[in-house]
Amino acid sequence: MQQSTYDTLHAAIIMDGNGRWATARGLPRIAGHRAGSEALRRTVESAPNLGIRSLTVYAFSSDNWRRPRTEVSALMRLFHTYLRRERDKCVENGVRISVIGRRDRLPLMVLPEIEAAEKATIRGDKLHLRLAVDYSSRDAILDAAKRLKGKGTREAFSEALGAGDVDLVIRTGGEKRLSDFLLWECAYAELIFTPVMWPDFNESDLASAVAEFHSRERRFGAVPKAALA
């Protein structure tokens, strides 16, 4: 397992707090999700300048289907709109879009937008934006294990999951858990929890998290360098 350099940082964000942000302002929860989509745009625009080359964001977990039907429907419409609205901008800015998670349960209107966004942005080389939608890490691990039939190396398992190690995980909204997000990939990730609600998250917050990441000594189970001096 290799320590990341400044130019190859793989970050992941659990975008939490949209509903509470809206409720605190007397707004419907979907207003918080709309504001959250703007926070995602800001984050995608600023990430490459901070050395982030891969960014995975938790947009909709498999457990989120338990939410009220009206909220789920609104979230799917918002996802559809985001993909259509941001596709050309991502092409222009060298951002590649990939969607991870199940697709068989997504509304039919969303699937063509996913395929169009992935196809149009496939050459993006400045940032790989991975949107986790209807995603469960435990389900992804089970699926990878079935495909490998109990054989293979750690590297083969990571390849079956479709991603490398995550270096930095940021969770907004004050909660302190991973919530079934990239459990294999985050084995040695640095975790940062912030009370900032996702709609308020900005470039300064992201920069602070990246700076905190670089201030930590990543040992991957080895002895601290100071102890060897």
Examine residue 156 and state whether it is found in any structural domain, yes or no. Answer: yes
Q: Which domain holds residue 60?
A: 6-215
User: Is 64 assigned a catalytic role?
Assistant: yes
Q: In CATH, what number is assigned to the domain containing residue 44?
A: 3.40.1180.10
Examine residue 71 and state whether it is found in any structural domain, yes or no. Answer: yes
Examine residue 229 and state whether it is found in any structural domain, yes or no. Answer: no
| β-strand partners of 35 | none
Q: How many helices (H) and strands (E) does the chain have?
A: 8, 6
Mean per-residue pLDDT for 122-151? 93
Examine residue 220 and state whether it is found in any structural domain, yes or no. Answer: no
Total structural domains within the chain: 1
In contact, 209 and 33? CB cutoff 8 Å: no
Examine residue 221 and state whether it is found in any structural domain, yes or no. Answer: no
Confidence band of 220 (pLDDT split at 50, 70, 90): confident
Q: What global pTM score does this model have? A: 0.92
Mean per-residue pLDDT for 53-70? 97
pLDDT of residue 1: 39
Examine residue 145 and state whether it is found in any structural domain, yes or no. Answer: yes
What is the percent of the chain with per-residue pLDDT over 70, rounded to a whole number? 93
Residue among 16, 134, 165, 167 flagged as catalytic: 16
What does the mean pLDDT of the chain come to? Answer: 93
Mean per-residue pLDDT for 29-50? 97
pLDDT in tens, 71-114: 999 999 999 999 999 999 999 999 999 999 999 999 999 999 99
pLDDT in tens, 182-198: 999 999 999 999 999 99
pLDDT of residue 158: 87
Cβ neighbours of 91 (radius 10 Å):
17
Cβ neighbours of 3 (radius 10 Å):
12
What is the percent of the chain with per-residue pLDDT over 90, rounded to a whole number? 82
Examine residue 228 and state whether it is found in any structural domain, yes or no. Answer: no
Q: Residue written as tokens 């995975």?
A: 56
Q: Which two tokens stand for residue 41?
A: 């745009």
Examine residue 191 and state whether it is found in any structural domain, yes or no. Answer: yes
Residue among 64, 93, 139, 200 flagged as catalytic: 64
User: Is 16 assigned a catalytic role?
Assistant: yes
